[in-house]
Amino acid sequence: MVDDMKNKSNSKTSKSQKNIKNNKNFRNNKPNSKIVKFKNNLNVYNEVSSKKIKSIFAFLLILFFLLIVRIAWLQFADGTKLQREAANQQTRIDTISAQRGTIYDSTGVILATSYEADNVIVQLDKLPEENKPLVAAGLSSILELTYDEVIEKLNTESLKVTISKNVTHEKINQINSWIKENKLSTYIYTEENIARYYPYSSLASNVIGFCGTDSQGLSGIEYSWDSILTGTAGKSVSSKDARSQAQIPNTEETYIPAENGYNLTLTIDVNIQNIVEKYLKQAVIENDCSRGGTAIAMDPSTGDILAMASYPDYDLNSPFTPNEYLLNGWEELSPTDKSNALQKMWNNECVTDTYEPGSVFKTITSAIALEENIVDVDVPHTLYCDGIEEVADREIKCWRAVPHYSQSLRDAFNSSCNPAFIQLGSRIGAQTSYKYYEAFGLFNKTEIALPGESTGIFFNLKDVGPVQLATMSFGQRFTITPLQMITSISAIVNDGVLMKPRIVKSITNTDTADVTEISTTEVRKVVSKETSETIISMMQSEVEIGTGKKALVKGYNVGGKTGTSEPAPGHEDEGYIASFIGIAPVEDVRMVVLVALYDPRGKSHQGGQIATPVVANIFTEVLPYLGIPANAEGSSHQNNTSDNNLY
């Protein structure tokens, strides 16, 4: 059995050896090749895995390092900038508009006031480009703007843009509904604003002026007193979420209240202004005055402007709409011409434009002659007119074909005789004349609180020869403003005391109700009281028996002086200027009125014919309104229509 077991063992061994011999590896003399190959593959695998792990670890380490560097850079280098940008994105700043001050007339009637409105604003930095057409279409439809107009604003380089200002509450409600419907609250919002309103539309338009859509004064008192009327806007600063709706928790809201502007009370009386404008407009239309007209009413004792008017006027609530005088041919004008035409329409010609005053200026010449004792008022044969006055190398005719012959100063004043005043001017001399012109303020602005004031344009004293002196004596070949003219005459009838014109009477602090009075200002005494009284009596004679008879007012003693100035050579197209200055009542002058009509093309161009009745009509209504009683001794003459009343 043992042998059998050995044999079996040998047999197995033999088979095993035989199998080994038959094996390919054995034949190739590579004993145990499988075992060796397995051992080599395992080592390679372990080596690759180790390198990968190290590479990944190194990469992650570098990435982590770069991340730390980036965080550090963001925190320390860009931190302030990023915080600012984040704050800008989260911060909502709403402007709280200041209430612009109200403008009142002297009796407390509102001439200009403000009301709440809204601005429509688009946040451009948050508005996606693809939403711009939708926004432009929607807003243009509701706000009645063109699509191109809105899309142009949406394409501007800014964080936000105002699409429209002073939008009515009705349209704001439509916009809010549209915003909600289209889920556009992130990009579009409304902001409270204050709009300007003028209850009387065109009344005193050239004096009051108007504001732009941002409530900034652009002309008139609104412009010259803008810093007083405007106030200071407030603001509300808060942090909002990404949709600019909800307040971010744990953030503070800052509120700075607006400081409202101050109120102004003018010296203008709305009732007197309305009367003056009514008759000025009527005269301009009836006499076909191509360049319109001006009128001023002043209290000579204070310098207060009771009324100031230019016609044509315009609607203060739509100042960029041309008035009826500009509409004809408006569309054919270039943009520059349109702008110039509107500027002309807005101008207050009583202070911005100069004119040749004509014979009204003879009042000044008379006052100088009396003050210098060159002539007495009622001494006969003082002056002489034979129809023509020879001056240097030329002849200057009197306005009347029939000579006036021998005259006193009062006679020459009543008949408005040019040769007589040429003689008077020659006696006075250029040096003395200019001394008084300066004293009357004709070389300087009156400094009334209105924009764009001009001043007189005279020859240089060294250039004044006999001809220049002659024409100046009766008010031609130099120019002054209507305001300068009435201020000078007011000085003469105010006991010779020149007052600074005043248009604003007081300023009221709307928060404290404190009132600051703008005091009247006495500039200087120009002529004596005696001269003043004499001139007043001459002006009364002018109305009662002279060229100013059409200024007679029943129940009142009125004085005045007519004027008609012809255009300068080379400027014939500007036409004549017909004017009249009136004073009333002569016993105690409470009111001076100057009316000038430019280029009248109707039945007459003479001041005694067309300007004088305007002043008479104004006095007829205003004097009773001022509480000045009529008296039995006042003028009761009917207006004289004689053709002799020309100048």
Give me the active site residues, please: 359
d(CA 379, CA 383): 9
508 CB-contact burial (10 Å; exposed 0-12 / middle 13-18 / buried 19+): middle
Is residue 596 within 8 A of residue 608, CB to CB? The reply is: no
Within 10 angstroms of residue 301's Cβ, the number of other Cβ atoms is 16
Is residue 195 within 8 A of residue 115, CB to CB? The reply is: yes
Length of the chain: 647
Give the dihedral sign, CA 345/351/356/360: positive
**What is the secondary structure of 78-136 as a DSSP string?**
SHHHHHHHHHHHHEEEEEEPPPPPPEE-TTS-EEEEEEEEEEEEEETTTS-GGGHHHHH
**Residue tagged 């076909």 (tokens):** 288
Name the DSSP class of 211. B
C-alpha closest to that of 450 among 204, 184, 114, 106: 204
3 state SS of 50? helix
Is residue 197 within 8 A of residue 160, CB to CB? The reply is: no
User: 13-30 as b/e, with b when 16 or more CB fall inside 10 Å?
Assistant: eeeeeeeeeeeeeeeeee
Distances (CA, A) of 423 to 323, 405, 584: 46, 13, 30
User: In this structure, what is the dihedral angle of CA atoms 348, 353, 358, 362, given to the nearest 10 degrees?
Assistant: 80
Within 10 angstroms of residue 384's Cβ, the number of other Cβ atoms is 16
Q: Which structure tokens are listed for 190?
A: 């409304």
3 state SS of 196? strand
**Residue tagged 């810093």 (tokens):** 227
Q: Which structure tokens are listed for 601?
A: 């093309």
